[in-house]
Structures are given as C-alpha cells and as structure tokens.
C-alpha cells in the first residue's frame, strides 16, 4: 500500500494574524503558537499556509513569514480590526476566499486543515467537507470554561459561541489540547470523543528566552538595580486579572510602607477584548489605590525586549482567571525568573508548584499579597525557584511541539483515508 506524506498544511486563523504583535488587540499566546509551530513544521519539510483576515488595504495578498510559511490575507469585511462579536457575520465571506484560493490550484493541494479558535473551526469544518481532508482543531480558549471562571465584572461568553464550539468539537477529526486538564474539559464539558483528543504541550523559544544578567536587563530598561520588580505580561482585560496584582501591591504597601522605596509594578501589554471598553483602567486603578508612583505601564514588546523584562523581574505574576496553557509563565521561567501564578487551567502544567514557581489558589488580593511578600523576603528561596524554573522550561521546546503535531496530522490522515502516513525521517 502506498504511504501518504504530510506535504502542506492549511492553517486557519481568521480573527487574528500571526503577523500581529502579541499583547495588542486579539493577539496573544495563540499568535505565538501559530508562528512558532509553522516555522518548526517548515523545518520538518512541511509547507504551511496561514489564512487570516486582512485588516488593512495595503497588506499584500501573500506574505512570506519564513521559508516554507506563507500568510494569506483574505478580504472579509472592512479593512480594520473588528470585535470578535462581529466576526461571525464575515464567516461566509472568509470561507469563500479560502475555497477560492484552493480552487486556483490542482486538487489535493492541502493534506490537512489546522484551525485555531472556534471561528476558524467553523471555516475549517466546511473546507474539510469540500476538500476531503481531515480537520485538526485547537480551541485555545473555551466558552464553557471561561463562563465557569468569570472575572468580577466580566461578561459571559454568548450562547452562539458555545453552540459554535460544540459544532466544531463534533466534526473535527482531531482536537488538540494544550494540557491533560484541557483534554478533560473537552471530554467532560463538550462530550468530545477521547479517541479524537490529543494532548500537545505548547513550547517556548529557548533561543530567545534565555537566562542573562538581571543587572544588564534592568540597566537597558531603566529600572533601579535594587528594585523588587513584580512583572505582569499580557493583554489588559478582566480575564488576565492585572488588577489582582495592583490590588495585592496596594495591600503589601499598607502592611509594609518601607517597601515603596524599592517596589516596581511593571505591566507590559495593551487593552484587549472587554478591556477595550476602559483602556485607561489600570492607570485609574493605580491612582485610586494610591500606588501610581510604583506602577509602570509599558506597551507590548517584541520578543527580544520582552525577554529583558523577564530577566529584569524579581517575580513574574500571572493571576489569570483562565489559561489554556500560560505561555507567559513558560517564557519567564526559561529566562530564569520564577512565577507566581493562579492555580487554574494550563498554568498547573506550565508552572511546577514549589519548584519553578508558586501556584496561588483563588484571586483574593490579600492572598496574593501574602504570597508575593514571602517571595520578596526570601532571596534564597527565589534562587532555588530560579534554578527550577530554568530546568522546567527546558523541557518545553517548539520543535517537540511540531513533531507531536506531525503525529496528530498523520493519525488524522491515516484514519480518514485508511492508509499509513510517512513522517519525516521514515
């Protein structure tokens, strides 16, 4: 029997482009995931074409992200950023452009579709039926999970999204979960067939996020050498809970006023999602709490600069209400900086409690203040956690993620066509 090979993957990322700067708009860990996996798959000899919505008139129809990786900008709706709530209205237009692209080539151009987020899954569902190829889908976040863990004042995800996610779960040939916890949520909350769920841990760029001198990093960023730097990285929205860090810092300063001379709260990121309704929320909160003098708000940074922020930090704080994995936690640990993270979702995998960082139950600022003060007052403990952080992060590389994805693709193709699939090196 002739063996098939995975030659080309159609990656669908409708609502956010892999070329966008993470930490702005809807760009975040998913963007990093798509870019890094695409690059590593290309190194394995697999061509990747990423379909995304054009958000500017002057964007080229096709852009090369890296050798073997193309980004296709498709016209669907106005040439501007759109709220995700408005994007379902553009699904038909986007799907039409995806199908039109494939029709320009000989049949069989794509061997597998990998869609990211439920909107892309809806497109992948119909494309798979037209092309006769398997659909692999990664949720990244799930409405039912988010609705169980809502931040204070946050709005629940709409029923339309819940229904849309359920449809994608039902039709996908394979569902990729970032962690075993997420796999369990797919099975328990959405009734996914366990045989179609594969756990593939995301990775971290171990060439960029590396340990280096804290002092040099602080000098480059203009931070005091003797500061206690508590770092938040991510989109500014209720789900990510940067307010928990600010409220905890306020309590720390009330309990220990002398700490004000050395404390720096650095928040690197931009407003996103529900956070766009109050883009100045953190500034207003810092003023209200009386800690504006110790808070630094920094716009989203490219990876090389972001690595310096991690190196400069004393502790990276990840107080999210929900995380499918927690890429920020992994990047920080790869730089040798321990993490204090909420004990939710994928963070329980990304952070090894008591070894590479600290997991905190709940989101009570008083509890976070106690946990952070204990870390700041225990330099030897931080040194041990720093060593554990480096070792823990070293086990997560994007190359391993890509290799595991290749196995998932091969399994989906083999099941659909009932033929063996050749992997690189075989």
Q: How many helices and strands (H and E) does the chain possess?
A: 15, 16
152 annotated as belonging to a binding site for a ligand:
no
155 annotated as belonging to a binding site for a ligand:
no
Residue in 74, 66, 172 with CA at minimum distance from that of residue 117: 172
Cα within 13 Å of Cα(144), Cβ side: 16
311 annotated as belonging to a binding site for a ligand:
yes
321 annotated as belonging to a binding site for a ligand:
no
Distance of CA 201 to the CA centre of its chain: 12
CA–CA dist 173, 76 (Å, integer): 27
Residue in 101, 59, 96, 65 with CA at minimum distance from that of residue 80: 59
User: What is the number of residues in the chain?
Assistant: 426
Is residue 29 packed enough to be buried (19+ CB in 10 Å), middle (13-18) or exposed (0-12)? buried
Contact (Cβ atoms closer than 8 angstroms) between residue 244 and residue 319: yes
CA–CA dist 266, 175 (Å, integer): 36
Return the structure tokens found at 324: 């499918």
11 annotated as belonging to a binding site for a ligand:
no
- The C-alpha angle with vertex 394 and arms to 391 and 396, in degrees rounded to 5, equals 130
Describe the strand order of the beta sheet including 8-12 as a list of residue ranges.
62-66, 69-74, 47-53, 8-12, 112-116, 135-138, 174-177, 197-199
56 annotated as belonging to a binding site for a ligand:
no
22 annotated as belonging to a binding site for a ligand:
yes
28 annotated as belonging to a binding site for a ligand:
yes
141 annotated as belonging to a binding site for a ligand:
yes
Q: Cβ contacts of residue 126 below 8 Å, gap of 6+?
A: 95
26 annotated as belonging to a binding site for a ligand:
yes
313 annotated as belonging to a binding site for a ligand:
yes
Contact (Cβ atoms closer than 8 angstroms) between residue 370 and residue 9: no
247 annotated as belonging to a binding site for a ligand:
no
80 annotated as belonging to a binding site for a ligand:
no
235 annotated as belonging to a binding site for a ligand:
yes
Residue in 175, 309, 162, 287 with CA at minimum distance from that of residue 234: 309
310 annotated as belonging to a binding site for a ligand:
yes
31 annotated as belonging to a binding site for a ligand:
yes
CA–CA dist 394, 205 (Å, integer): 10
Sort strands 62-66 and 69-74 into parallel, antiparallel or unpaired: antiparallel
For the chain, percent helix, then strand, then coil, each to nearest 5? 45, 20, 35
- The C-alpha angle with vertex 146 and arms to 143 and 147, in degrees rounded to 5, equals 85
161 annotated as belonging to a binding site for a ligand:
yes
Feature table: binding site: 15, 21-22, 26-31, 84, 117, 141, 161, 235, 240, 310-311, 313, 323, 331, 337
Feature table: binding site for UDP-N-acetyl-alpha-D-glucosamine: 21-22, 29, 235, 240, 323, 331
Feature table: binding site for 1D-myo-inositol 3-phosphate: 15, 26-31, 84, 117, 141, 161
Feature table: binding site for Mg(2+): 310-311, 313, 337
């Amino acid at each position: 029997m002739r063996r098939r090979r995975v030659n080309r993957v159609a990656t669908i990322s409708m609502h956010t482009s892999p070329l966008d700067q993470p930490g702005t708009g809807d760009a975040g860990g998913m963007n990093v995931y798509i870019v890094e996996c695409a690059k590593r798959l290309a190194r394995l000899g697999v061509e990747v074409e990423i379909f995304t919505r054009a958000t500017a008139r002057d964007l080229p129809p096709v852009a090369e992200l890296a050798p073997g990786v193309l980004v296709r900008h498709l016209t669907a709706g106005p040439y501007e950023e759109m709220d995700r709530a408005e994007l379902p209205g553009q699904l038909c237009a986007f799907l039409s452009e995806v199908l039109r692209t494939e029709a320009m080539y000989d049949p069989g151009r794509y061997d597998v579709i990998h869609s990211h987020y439920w909107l892309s899954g809806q497109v992948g569902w119909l494309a798979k039926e037209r092309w006769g190829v398997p659909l692999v889908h990664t949720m990244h976040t799930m409405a039912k999970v988010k609705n169980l863990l809502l931040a204070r004042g946050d709005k629940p995800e709409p029923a339309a999204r819940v229904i849309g996610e359920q449809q994608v779960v039902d039709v996908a040939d394979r569902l990729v979960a970032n962690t075993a916890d997420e796999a369990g949520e797919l099975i328990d909350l959405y009734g996914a067939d366990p045989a179609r769920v594969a756990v593939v841990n995301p990775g971290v760029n171990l060439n960029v996020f590396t340990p280096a001198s804290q002092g040099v990093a602080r000098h480059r960023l203009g931070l005091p050498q003797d500061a206690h730097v508590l770092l938040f990285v991510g989109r500014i929205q209720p789900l990510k809970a940067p307010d928990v860090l600010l409220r905890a810092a306020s309590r720390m300063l009330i309990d220990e006023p002398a700490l004000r001379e050395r404390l720096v709260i650095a928040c690197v990121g931009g407003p996103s999602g529900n956070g766009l309704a109050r883009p100045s929320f953190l500034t207003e909160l810092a003023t209200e709490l009386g800690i504006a003098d110790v808070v630094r708000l920094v716009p989203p940074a490219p990876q090389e600069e972001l690595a310096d922020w991690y190196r400069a930090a004393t502790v990276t704080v990840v107080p999210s209400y929900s995380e499918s994995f927690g890429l920020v936690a992994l990047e920080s640990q790869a730089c040798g900086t321990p993490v204090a993270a909420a004990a939710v979702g994928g963070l329980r995998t990304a952070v090894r409690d008591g070894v590479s960082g600290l997991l905190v139950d709940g989101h009570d600022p008083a509890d976070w203040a106690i946990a952070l003060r204990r870390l700041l007052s225990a330099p030897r403990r931080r040194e041990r956690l720093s060593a554990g952080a480096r070792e823990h992060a070293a086990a997560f590389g994007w190359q391993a993620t890509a290799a595991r994805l290749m196995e998932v693709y091969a399994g989906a193709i083999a099941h659909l066509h009932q033929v063996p699939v050749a992997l690189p090196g075989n």
